[in-house]
Amino acid sequence: MTFIFVSFGEELHQFCQNDLKRLRRYKDAEQAFDKATEKKPNFSEAWYAHGMALKLQEKYQDAIESFNKAISYYDPIDYDQLSRAWRQLGDSSWYLGEYQDALKAFEKAIDYTPEDFILYNWKADALASLGRYPEALKAIEVTSLRSTSLVCSCKMQIDSPLVVFHSLMLLSSLPLARIFPFGLIATK
Distance, CA of 120 to CA of 136 (rounded, Å): 9
Q: 118 or 147, which is more confident?
A: 118
Question: Which range, of 42-51, 66-75, 121-130, 134-143, averages the lowest pLDDT?
Answer: 134-143
Contact present, 32 and 14 (Cβ < 8 Å): yes
Q: 148 or 71, which is more confident?
A: 71
Long-range CB pairs of 2-5, under 8 A, 24+ apart, other chains included: 4/43, 4/45, 5/36
Contacts of 72 (CB under 8 A, 6+ apart): none
Residue pLDDT, tens place only, 99-128: 999 999 999 999 999 999 899 999 999 999
pLDDT > 60? residue 59: yes
Mean pLDDT confidence for 62-75:
98
Q: 107 or 172, which is more confident?
A: 107
Helix (H) or strand (E) holding 72: helix 60-73
Topology of domain 1-98 in CATH is 1.25.40
pLDDT > 90? residue 188: no
Report the percent of the chain where pLDDT is more than 70: 64
Q: How many other C-beta atoms are found inside a 10 Å radius of the C-beta of residue 95?
A: 15
Q: What is the mean pLDDT of the chain?
A: 77
Residue pLDDT, tens place only, 69-105: 999 999 999 999 999 999 999 999 999 999 999 999 9
Contacts of 19 (CB under 8 A, 6+ apart): 25
Q: 106 or 156, which is more confident?
A: 106
CA distances from 116 to 67, 110, 111, 112, 158 (A): 19, 7, 10, 9, 22
pLDDT band at residue 16 under the 50/70/90 scheme: low
Residues of the chain with CATH 1.25.40.10: 1-98
Distance, CA of 22 to CA of 109 (rounded, Å): 26
Q: How are the residues of the chain apportioned to helix, strand and coil, as percentages rounded to the nearest 5? A: 75, 0, 25
Distance, CA of 13 to CA of 32 (rounded, Å): 9
